Amino acid sequence: MTFPMSARLYTKSDLLLSTEVSAVYAFNTAGAILGSLIAGFLLIPHIGSQTTLVMASCISIGTGIVLARLRPQFLFAGAAMITYVIFLPKWDPELMASAMGLAIEAGRKAYLAGRMPKRLYASASSPLAGVVR
């Protein structure tokens, strides 16, 4: 969602469209790499995943407010982000873990019922990868 808005804000003319969008794409990629490193190695281990998510949402809200001041058509996106943070439910790690356990149990039952083929290894990309015949 941020890339199209950033590209639209940054591009000034149709003549330099590819150059300007390329620059936005490069900054977007660098920001994604830097953000994932900071989140994975600093924020989540020290303050937890939910607090990291709320903090990232607050940064997005701040960005949305700035964008709404620059261009009023982005006001709806900012309002949606604020609503998300206000109504964000508290995470229940035990409930989340139990849901994963239920998913594993359901997969095992589907396999035992003959609904899933036997495989040498797991593969999410293709239903036919590694099928033992």
Average predicted confidence (pLDDT) for the chain: 78
In angstroms, the CA 77 to CA 64 distance is 7
The pLDDT, as a whole number, for residue 128 is 57
The answer to whether 71 touches 78, Cβ cutoff 8 Å, is no
Distance CA 53, CA 114 (A): 40
Return the pLDDT at 47. 93
Select from 49, 44, 42 the least CA-distant residue to 91: 49
Q: What is the pLDDT of residue 40?
A: 92
Q: What is the pLDDT of residues 4-62, one digit of tens each?
A: 766 776 777 777 777 778 888 888 889 889 999 999 999 999 998 888 888 887 887 78
Q: What is the pLDDT of residues 55-78, one digit of tens each?
A: 887 887 787 777 777 777 667 766
Number of helical H runs and strand E runs in the chain: 6, 0
**Burial bucket for residue 29 (CB in 10 Å: 0-12, 13-18, 19+):** exposed
Higher model confidence: residue 97 or residue 48?
Answer: 48
The confidence score (pLDDT) of residue 50 equals: 84
pLDDT at 36: 92
Residue 113 reports pLDDT greater than 80: yes
